[in-house]
A and B are shown apart, each in its own frame.
Chain A
Amino acid sequence: MSALPAQRKHAQQERPAEPPQDADDLALAAALRENPTATAERIHARFAKDVNRLVWRLLGADAEHHDLVQQVFLKIIVNGRRLRDPERLSSWVQAITVNTVYEELRKRDLRRLLHRDTPTNLHPNLVRDVELRDLLLRAKAMMDKLPAKERIVFVLHHVEGRTLADVADLCGFSLATAKRRLGAANRRFERLAAGAPDLLSLFSRERDAP
């Protein structure tokens, strides 16, 4: 279901305000609302690192990473005048990022229903380390089997280390929904991991390595 986009407006209107951001962000938010296109370069400079990191983690070093980042920034600029609360600029940017990746994952879900053998592709930057590349490819293939709405919650919570309240806020749904989806994702992950016990142990080794 398209729960994320439909609930985005609701989330922006009804979530409690965050602590104020620093003056630079407030000025940037004001400039974005005034003239989004002219602010594009500043917006990119301020959020490029955050957006890249979030897309990278959510999609898993994807071959289409840069296209997705481009889409996120275009959405930020095109919708800049609609930013309601300048104090939530950072959250708003993250929410757009999550929503853009979610839409992409939904498209891929649908594509997989059509073509069951859709290959999993990694970003070329990871060619450098063949062993790591293989590991990530297998992990990504496992993540690809989670439905978009569960994957987003799973990655934000377990990979990005966000609290469930934060996940709910970013995705625009309630804490109860976030908990329910995480529960479903954990159960599905359990079934998938049972079929690939070596992958979990490989990951543990990877983490334990000095």
Chain B
Amino acid sequence: MSDAAKRFGAALAEALGEGPGKGALPAQRERLLAALAARRRWSARRVAPVLAAAAILASLPVVHRLLDPSKPAVTASVDGRALASASTIEAPASSASVLDFSDGSQLVLEPKSQASVTTLTGERAHLRLQAGQLRAQIRKRTGMTWTIDAGPYAIRVVGTTFRVHWDETRGRLRVDVEEGRVQISGRGLPAPGLFVDAGGSLEQLEPRASREPAAPVPDSATEPSVGPSTPGAPPPGPAKASPTPPPDWLALAGAAKYREAVVAAEALGFEELVARLPANDLLTLANAARYSGARGRARQALRGLRQRFPGSAPARLGALALARLAEDGDKDPAAAARWLRTFLKESPTGDLAAGARADLMSLSLRLGDAAAARAVARDYLRHHPRGPHATQARELIQSTPSK
């Protein structure tokens, strides 16, 4: 029958032609330019009073205090539990620990690694990686200064994503920068330190003669100590920068080769990846599985994401992806509606909320639940009064009397 569809399509194309005709184009152009001119006038009228009001408000002492970034203290949680100040975190042998900071930054402490938070204010965060490896994703432009110490080295960050591996027993530091830039200073490095840019890495052996006594590491009876993650230590000496290739499956997913990415992930151990990947990579893995049609694996990755990183942005997006899987893949509108409700409960005002509410309206109508659809329509108008589906939401509310 696709032949019939093909014939129908070709005939329809011929019948339709190329468009409404060239004669319509000048009028279209004039209308577009008029709309843009109206937009500019509207913006000028709207923005000027807002700027003036903002300037007046900002000058008021009470508002100034509210706007002062030094006031709100940043808080942290480990795997969803609040972290007390000056705490030490030890990641279990089988899974990573995730430190979420209230400014949006996130640190993933890899299995068997140990770190402590020594200072955490609204302006400064200071951590020490005692042993093992962590991946840091530091939120940009929050006005905070982040420093991560590893042995005799200090890594200063403004806003970036990078990995740190500190092998305390060999005195070896490795830093891989994924985004942004870090400044690394410490023993054996030239003052004021070395800058490493995105895509670069630094490997540095602490000069043996200057080794300090080892920082405390977990008791081997309870938590095994950490060994080097890369074989063969480089000779001591100045740091060198070199590009670091990402893991294969991630590179394949980045090149839109989703099926190959899932195969590569299976070879590494899909379950293990679900158990240890940081949140963003896990969402990428779930999406690769989703796009390649591996619905079971996608669901597994998304559920792992939501269990391991509850409340995080990727986990919230995971609910939306689960809704899509339920509707498009499983043809289960009731499950899709449940996941959409979960997503909206967790992200009531995010960028994707308007679309999710429109989908939920539509699904509720398809499920024959007009009352639920009306409730979603009211919710839609409350949150997105000028949204693209506002007209339909109003029509829906007016179509049946509310009780």
Contacts and interface: CB of A to CB of B under 8 A. Distances in A.
Interface of A: 1-3, 5-6, 10, 14-16, 37, 40-41, 44-45, 48-49, 52-53, 55-57, 60-61, 65-66, 69-70, 73-74, 77, 103, 106-107, 109-111, 113-115, 123, 125, 132, 135-136, 139, 154-155, 157-161, 173-174, 176-177, 180, 185-187, 189-190, 193, 200, 203-204, 206-207
Interface of B: 1-2, 4-21, 24-25, 27-29, 31-33, 35-36, 39-40, 254-256, 258-259, 287, 291-293, 320, 323-324, 327-328, 336, 352, 355-356, 358-359, 361-362, 365-366, 388-389, 391-392, 395-396, 399
Contacts of A74: 32, 35-36, 39
Given A1-B324, A123-B20, A189-B1, A6 B355 contact: yes
B300 to A, nearest CB: 18
6 contacts: A41-B29, A103-B388, A160-B13, A161-B9, A185-B5, A186-B2
* Residue with the highest number of chain A CB atoms closer than 10 Å, among B2, B15, B28, B29: B15
B328 A1 contact: yes
Nearest to A48: B25
B1 A190 contact: yes
Contacts of B258: 174, 176
A190 B358 CA distance: 29
B11 A70 contact: no
Given A41-B29, A48-B28, 9 more contacts: A44-B29, A49-B18, A139-B15, A157-B9, A189-B4, A190-B1, A193-B4, A203-B7, A207-B11
Contact of B359 (A2, A37, A56, A200): A2
Contacts of A10: 287
The 6 closest A-B pairs by CB, nearest first: A158-B9, A2-B355, A174-B291, A52-B19, A203-B11, A207-B11
Contacts of A61: 16, 20
Given A37-B40, A49-B19, A176-B259, A6 B2 contact: no
Contact of A107 (B24, B293, B365, B392): B392
B291 A56 contact: no
A41 B33 CA distance: 7
B177 to A, nearest CB: 20
* Residue with the highest number of chain B CB atoms closer than 10 Å, among A10, A110, A115, A139: A110
Nearest to B355: A2
A40 B33 contact: yes
A174 B327 CA distance: 17
B338 to A, nearest CB: 14
Contacts of A113: 362, 365-366
Nearest to B19: A52
Chain A contact residues: over half helix, strand or loop, or mixed?
helix
A49 to B, nearest CB: 7
A97 B363 CA distance: 26
B113 to A, nearest CB: 31
B4 A200 contact: yes
A204 B11 contact: yes
Nearest to A103: B388
Contacts of B10: 158-159, 161, 207
A3 to B, nearest CB: 6
Contacts of A15: 256
Given A56-B19, A190-B1, A114 B7 contact: no
B14 A207 contact: yes
Contact of A69 (B11, B28, B388, B399): B28
* Residue with the highest number of chain B CB atoms closer than 10 Å, among A56, A174, A180: A174
Given A107-B388, A190-B4, A2 B16 contact: no
Contact of A65 (B1, B14, B20, B388): B20
Contacts of A123: 20
